[in-house]
Chain A
Amino acid sequence: MSSLALTLASARRFGERRPEAWVGLLSAAAWLAMLPHMFGQTVCHQLSFWADWRSWMLMVVAMMVPLLLPALRFTADRSFRYRQHRAMLLHLVGYLIPWALCGLIVCLLMGRTWGHAAWLPAACFALASVWAATPVYARLMDASHRIVSLHPSGWRANRDCVYFGLVQGLPCTGSCALMMAGCAVSGHGLVAMVGGALLAATERRSFRPRRWLVPAGSAALALWYGIVWLGK
């Protein structure tokens, strides 16, 4: 067997073991696409509304979708093989709908005169810090781990997959929107993007969701961007 055939066979086996891998690759591609923003080669808030919205969605796919991978794997495991990828795609679409709507609002606000203000990232992260300390935030975080039993086939199965995504996407958007807005108005800056992604990932992996972790992390980001603003 040629080395190409061996590589393809091994890739196929990996794909069977990890059907959600393509979504991970999608996130990696989104990170790559965001690199010019993160290193300041493009100033996000000077783009058009739809370009801003596209950047917002790329940012969500880069930062939030990796956290969804276990749930997508769960959906794949509970679907017939012939429709596993469709099921994951519909789950992903459902998850992204609330984020897309939230992005429209954020981009609309960014179009206002004060939407370009240098103090805005610090304000967003400060608000995110306060929000993350509220009991509502904790309840939303718990709700984002809910699961949905899926019909095995037919339109009901498609509906269930989208609904599953919505069930996870709505509370996730509700809990993290302010922090993501901070990342967006910072022009998708390196510190905001990497800091935000680390905060979200660390919170998922910590012993218990630490009440102080996101408030403190968001406050640190607010401080950073406050210093940047004052330095201008």
Chain B
Amino acid sequence: MRERKPVSLAQTVDPTLLWYSRAVGNMRQRPFTDSTSWRFQSAVHGYDAASDPYTSPTDPPPSAGVQKEYWKQCQHGSWFFLSWHRMYLSIFEQIVADAVERAGGPKDWALPYWDYSASDEARSLPWAFRQKNWPDGEVNHLYLDERAPGINQGTPVPKTSTDITTALSKLVFSASPSRDSFGGGEVQNFTHFGRVTGALENVPHNQLHNDVGGPSGFMSDPDLAALDPIFWCHHSNIDRLWEVWIRQPNRLNPTSSVWLTGVRFPFLDANKQPVVYTSSQVTDTRKLGYGYVGMGPIPARTNEAVAAVRAREHLRAELLGASAPGAVLAGALQHIAVPMLAENHKIRSERVATGAGRLLLNLEDITTDGLGASFDVFVNLPDNADDAARDKHLAGRIALFGKTTDDGHGRSFVLDITSLHDLLEKAGALGGTGVKVSLKRVHDWGPQAQVGRVSVVAE
């Protein structure tokens, strides 16, 4: 059983990372047609020949049939996000472990995770990924130039990017599109990029990609992200956070047959043999041969607890108000008016005020043709608000991973604004005057985006 541990932050040579570096170097030398090569593994996540920085006539890609079957598979914006990436990481870990063992390294090498939420120090890219060479002069294959400015110099990512409390507080894995969830929106089939982003995928997953990749680095682009060695440690942490979430009281993975066995994902394993996984095969990491340090088994749930979670999953959300479609997010700060339907407001509002219901903000179908789009979202933000006022009116952060131009639809995000209910009620916003939603660009370099619609719903 492999035991995944946190990435070492120490400014010394860590054996796990040293062997990781050597394995990456070895995989980079394998031909593109080899399914265990670095480039092939990255292409399983995403690939665009036009943006491939390593195109070479002497290293051609595999056949179109192989590409169609095994490449561009990553699942985002849906409830397959977590399970698909677990399958993907598991195979990658076996490939690296095999390379490590062949090179004379330990037999139990496991993929470390970057726990950026653990401390202020942990928000900087781990030291080993910022060194072009190891202290003895050996080339460090964990280093990459193509990262956001400052990242390779140790500039920490913002604290808000590493906030996991919002994601871990979600009570259901998946829900209807206008309700918030931990794992993403339901889909019925293979969905490279779906519509409804789950809370964990939004922050920290997407936000970390954008922070590390910047305007043009590999990590911001789904077609290049897995070429950066830190990608795998980032996803190891996302995978670990799923394990943390499921161990909290009253949390359950989906039991829908569509999620469990309805969609089969093909891969080439570490022995280059075709394998097919379904989500039901990856809910228990021990069956994949790994676990996380210090983490016990998933606690059993009582029938009552299961029934309560299932009932929560089927709660309905009612639309209270919505903006006109098509606002363009061009400037640093953009305001969008959300008129409310006064009818039924009182009943809904009382339910929210007494804790019987929740108030949710939907940011629907956001599209962008650039990389790294992230926005802080505020409700009824006063003009010339200072930092304290901004915090008070902050609904949350939304982050897109990659462009949306090829998908025919945008990404949707749901933010829980129940805690802002009193503030909105006091202003008369829910009863008739309407809610003002403001989106502030997180990064100066962030691209222009378009919002399909902003709406407020009550659960």
Contacts and interface: CB of A to CB of B under 8 A. Distances in A.
A150 B455 CA distance: 11
Given A70-B188, A143-B408, A17 B195 contact: no
B190 A208 contact: yes
B311 to A, nearest CB: 11
Contacts of B314: 17
Given A77-B317, A149-B365, A207-B266, 4 more contacts: A74-B177, A149-B326, A204-B189, A206-B190
A74 B317 CA distance: 12
A138 to B, nearest CB: 12
Contacts of A208: 189-190
Interface string A170-214: 000000000000000000000000000000000011111000000
A12 interface: no
A48 interface: no
B285 to A, nearest CB: 24
Contacts of A151: 322, 324-325
Interface stretch (A27-35, A50-58, A78-86, A123-131): A78-86
B256 to A, nearest CB: 13
B408 A145 contact: yes
B190 A152 contact: no
Contact of A77 (B178, B188, B325, B452): B178
Given A16-B316, A81-B318, A147 B188 contact: no
Closest 8 CB pairs of A and B: A149-B325, A149-B452, A152-B322, A149-B453, A146-B408, A208-B190, A207-B190, A147-B409
Interface stretch (B199-207, B257-265, B374-382): B257-265
28 contacts: A16-B316, A74-B177, A77-B176, A77-B177, A78-B455, A80-B341, A81-B344, A82-B343, A143-B408, A145-B409, A147-B409, A149-B326, A149-B452, A149-B453, A151-B325, A152-B322, A152-B341, A153-B341, A160-B325, A205-B188, A205-B189, A205-B262, A206-B190, A207-B189, A207-B190, A207-B266, A208-B189, A208-B190
Contacts of A79: 319
B343 A207 contact: no
A146 B367 CA distance: 13
A70 B409 CA distance: 15
Contacts of A80: 319, 341
Contacts of B343: 82
Interface string B306-329: 000000001011110111111000
A192 to B, nearest CB: 25
A196 B409 CA distance: 28
B364 interface: yes
A80 B188 CA distance: 25
B396 interface: no
A147 B365 contact: yes
B264 A207 contact: yes
A64 B324 CA distance: 31
A74 B176 CA distance: 9
A204 B452 CA distance: 25
Contact of A78 (B178, B188, B321, B341): B178
A42 to B, nearest CB: 34
Nearest to B276: A207
Contacts of B265: 207
A122 B438 CA distance: 59
A78 B339 CA distance: 14
A82 B189 CA distance: 31
A149 B364 contact: yes
A11 B266 CA distance: 41
Interface string A9-21: 0000000110000
Contacts of A17: 314, 316
A78 B364 CA distance: 10
Interface in B241-295: 262-266
Interface string A82-121: 1000000000000000000000000000000000000000
A186 B365 CA distance: 42
Contacts of A143: 408
A151 B322 CA distance: 8
A139 B314 CA distance: 34
A198 B100 CA distance: 48
A78 B317 CA distance: 10
Interface string A36-79: 00000000000000000000000000000000001000100111
Given A79-B319, A147-B365, A152 B455 contact: yes
Contacts of A149: 325-326, 364-365, 452-453
Given A17-B314, A82-B343, A152 B319 contact: yes
A149 B341 CA distance: 18
Nearest to A77: B178
Contacts of A206: 189-190
A151 B338 CA distance: 11
